[in-house]
Structure 1
Amino acid sequence: MQLQRTRDTAPELALRRRLHGMGLRYRVDVQPLRDLRRRADLVFGPSKVAVFVDGCFWHGCPVHGNPRPAANTWYWPDKIAGNKARDTDTDRRLQEAGWAVVRVWEHDDPKTVAGQVAELVASRRTLRRGQRLPAAAPSTSEADRT
């Protein structure tokens, strides 16, 4: 699994191109929190927005099901369940620290997602320095993740 690409995937690049075209700048593949050993695909630091582009297979997409490879069939259910649990824990920790978390599936339309992310970043940027950011809204597509 070390050979699996963790950054610069086609869905991530499509989203990055859209956001960059909208004039938004972000950091790629960074830890939003120093004490959290997890990396977000895109981070808008000053706005405290973390974006994760989740692969359907690796994160258990409810739309595409979860086909199991022929090899090591015993391994995959626990692996994917662990990934989902880690995603939930990551979201909780970031939200407790005042971050807005956006999780999208690899099959989501990049244009639509870019618009949603741009709107969220803009709304969080309008807050003046010294003001506390509002509590983060639940992740996008949260209803689809259960």
Structure 2
Amino acid sequence: MRLADRISTKRRSENMRRIKSTGTKPEMLVRRMVHAMGYRYRLRRKDLPGKPDLVFGPRRAAIFVHGCFWHQHDCRDGKLPSSNSDYWVPKLARNVERDKLVRSALEADGWRVLVIWECELKDHQSTAQRIQKFLSPCRA
């Protein structure tokens, strides 16, 4: 292994260690948005499959805030890394498969599920409208 590769691996390892799974900027943005709309929610209910980021119990609604890279969204930010693909391809594929299983399990149990992608949060108004429509009591 070249010195440059070891430095790169060390730097990547440190970056990965800093990445949080809860309380991320996108999640906090959605939480503030939902709260400002007057909705109240619970965080990551452990009794539900996948521990959704926001849970609206009486409405039987759950919101997941997904990072485009980690959950492989079909956007610019969701592309696979070019290095170490033997590691990344199966890891990210497992995330995508788990997302499908979790969503199916929730829907089979009568829950409505909304996935908000990190890249969608650039358009606050559109995201707020999607959330409002998803949570509104009058659903056709």
Scaled to the shorter chain, the TM-score interval is 0.7 to 0.9
**Mapped contact 1:18–1:111 kept (Cα < 8 A):** no
Structure 1 residue ranges, 4+ long, deviating more than 6 angstroms after superposition: none
**Mapped contact 1:32–1:45 kept (Cα < 8 A):** no
Provide the alpha-carbon RMSD of the alignment.
Answer: 2.2
**Mapped contact 1:11–1:110 kept (Cα < 8 A):** no
TM score, norm. by length of structure 1? 0.74
**Mapped contact 2:107–2:113 kept (Cα < 8 A):** yes
Instruction: Evaluate the alpha carbon distance shift between residue 118 and residue 81 of structure 1 in structure 2; reply closer, same or farther with a 3 A threshold.
Output: same
**Mapped contact 1:15–1:111 kept (Cα < 8 A):** no
TM score, norm. by length of structure 2? 0.76
Question: 1:6, CA displacement in angstroms?
Answer: 1.1
**Mapped contact 2:65–2:116 kept (Cα < 8 A):** yes
Instruction: Using CA pairs under 8 Å that are at least 6 residues apart, name the structure with larger relative contact order, 1 or 2.
Output: 1
Instruction: Evaluate the alpha carbon distance shift between residue 101 and residue 2 of structure 1 in structure 2; reply closer, same or farther with a 3 A threshold.
Output: farther
The one-letter amino acid paired with 1:58 is W
**Mapped contact 2:80–2:88 kept (Cα < 8 A):** no
Query: What residue number does 1:58 align with?
Result: 70
Identity, % of aligned positions: 36
Unaligned runs of at least 5 residues, structure 2:
1-15
1:117 aligned onto 2:131:
yes
**Mapped contact 1:60–1:84 kept (Cα < 8 A):** yes
Q: Deviations over 1:20-56 (max 9, x none)?
A: 11111111222352xx3x2111111110111011111
Residues paired across the two proteins, number = 122
Query: Secondary structure of the residue that 2:85 maps to in structure 1?
Result: coil
